[in-house]
Amino acid sequence: WMARYDTLTGLPNRMMLTEALGDALDYAEKWRTRCAFLMIDLDRFKAVNDTLGHLVGDQLLARVSERLKEQMTENELCGRLGGDEFAIVIRDASDLEHVKAVAQQVIRRLSQPYEVEHHTLYVGASVGSAFGPRDGATVETLMRNADLALYRAKDTGGNAHFTYEPALHAHAEERRQLEFSLRQALDNNEFQLVYQPVVDAHTEGVVSFEALLRWNSKEHGFVSPGKFIPLAEDTRLIVPIGEWVLHQACREAMNWPEHVRVAVNASGEQLLDPNFSASVISALTQSGLSPRRLEIEVTESIFLRDASQAQAALEQIMALGCGIALDDFGTGYSSLGYLRKLRFSTIKVDRSFVQSAATGNVESLAIIRAVVAMADSLEMSTTAEGAETEKEVELIRQLGCRKIQGYFFGRPMPAKDAEDLFRNPHYLAKQSAA
């Protein structure tokens, strides 16, 4: 019995799953039908293990297996492949829609919060599926192809289901090469920062810049941040890269007037790194930048991993005298609770609200008004993102946002151009009018 079951979860193990898949393939061949193999990988599980330890991680895996088991019918068998990987064998998968529905239900169920040892934990799930005998006539091929589909699902940021298709081989190879280049990028000096100005809504003088990372790879040319940032987070390269960004941004900000701040983005992976506050201190010390001129920008998703540790990390940064900005407010998970607990210096209103409010969308107008009123009462500043037209800028002013960021006032620019802004007499005139 022991040989076929996983001791931690009591679910069928890899050996039993491969036998069941072999039987399902034989059945599909014999009756000219098809079977399916679904591979499931937990998103963000590693962070739980790293920060709360293996005991909590193991309890979480046991809860995950209970939820999976509850979902199975006679036509399905679920098991644990190892680590945080699970799988489902669907014996009769002649109905494609049914397989998709099973995958979506897995994602939905496993993404609901877990209560373990007084922690509320959120992990997502990514699913890759392959159909036999179409996508593989042997157990090995079918499992490998389901794994490729899973890889693709994780690559899009997780919480998604992908079905195998032959083009995935090329995609996996491209990602492998990109990851290899990303590992060399820091040593090869391939990164650079660009700065997007943030202006005072009334004087239009520059009050800060947001530092944005760009990668010009020797092998791949300019790689979009949407492509390499998730890859950096997946491979944990975001920690050393983030440290470089902090040092570089603080150094370059020293060339600006003293009232101008710099905002640097930090991901959940960085905040959970025990050395994060030390790297902020080192960036400030080495550059000579005053802590009040540095703002760390985070999105609501950081509170999904381990809210208490993220909060502790941010409190350490605030204790140094730095500001904390909450980016993309209102688009993610409810952060109202965190607004009470953490004294954010700035709440950033997402571009989607700004652009939709400019078209007269009543809901977006109401949301921006509410955010501004709330921020004002909590003595936090507000920045409206994505302002591209005069109409949007005018509306933002009327709604009471204090700062504006967007192409209307400037696209992200190299450090040299950011410095030149302050040498421009037009800029200085705006400042003296303030």
* 2-166, CATH topology level: Alpha-Beta Plaits (3.30.70)
**CATH 3.20.20.450 region(s) of the chain?**
177-433
Its pTM surpasses 0.85: no
Encode pLDDT of 172-206 as tens digits. Answer: 888 899 999 999 999 999 999 999 999 999 999 99
How distant is the alpha carbon of residue 105 from its chain centre? 22
Under a CB-based contact definition with an 8 Å cutoff, are residues 408 and 390 in contact? yes
* Bond preceding residue 133 cis, omega within 30 of 0: yes
Distance of alpha carbon 199 from alpha carbon 209, whole angstroms: 9
DSSP assignments along 163-209, one per residue: E--TTHHHHHHHHHHHHHHHHHHTTTT-EEEEEEEEEETTT--EEEE
Instruction: Average pLDDT across each block of 10 residues of the chain; the chain has 434 residues. List them in order.
Output: 88 97 96 97 86 90 97 97 97 94 97 90 94 95 96 88 93 90 96 97 95 97 92 91 98 97 95 93 98 95 76 95 89 61 90 91 91 93 95 95 96 94 64 42
* Predicted pLDDT of residue 427: 57
H or E element, residue 96: helix 96-110
* Predicted pLDDT of residue 292: 98
Question: Left if phi > 0, otherwise alpha if psi is -120 to 50, otherwise beta: which for 344?
Answer: beta
Closest CA to 122 of 332, 286, 265: 332
For residue 64 the two structure tokens come to 């995950």
Strands 403-405 and 381-384 turn out to be: parallel
Q: For tokens 């540790």, what's the residue? A: 309
Asked whether the CA dihedral 245, 246, 248, 250 is positive or negative, the reply is positive
Under a CB-based contact definition with an 8 Å cutoff, are residues 245 and 405 in contact? no
331-to-301, 364, 367 alpha-carbon distances in Å: 10, 11, 11
* Predicted pLDDT of residue 423: 82
* Predicted pLDDT of residue 432: 40
* Predicted pLDDT of residue 194: 98
Question: Left if phi > 0, otherwise alpha if psi is -120 to 50, otherwise beta: which for 413?
Answer: beta
What are the residues facing 38 on neighbouring strands? 88, 129
* Predicted pLDDT of residue 138: 96
Domain 177-433 has CATH 3.20.20.70: no
Encode pLDDT of 359-376 as tens digits. Answer: 999 989 998 999 999 999
Distance of alpha carbon 186 from alpha carbon 206, whole angstroms: 30
Distance of alpha carbon 319 from alpha carbon 315, whole angstroms: 6
Distance of alpha carbon 206 from alpha carbon 227, whole angstroms: 30
* Predicted pLDDT of residue 302: 80
* Predicted pLDDT of residue 307: 76
Closest CA to 40 of 115, 132, 108: 108
* Predicted pLDDT of residue 332: 52
Local structure of 32: helix, strand or coil: coil
**CATH 3.30.70.270 region(s) of the chain?**
2-166
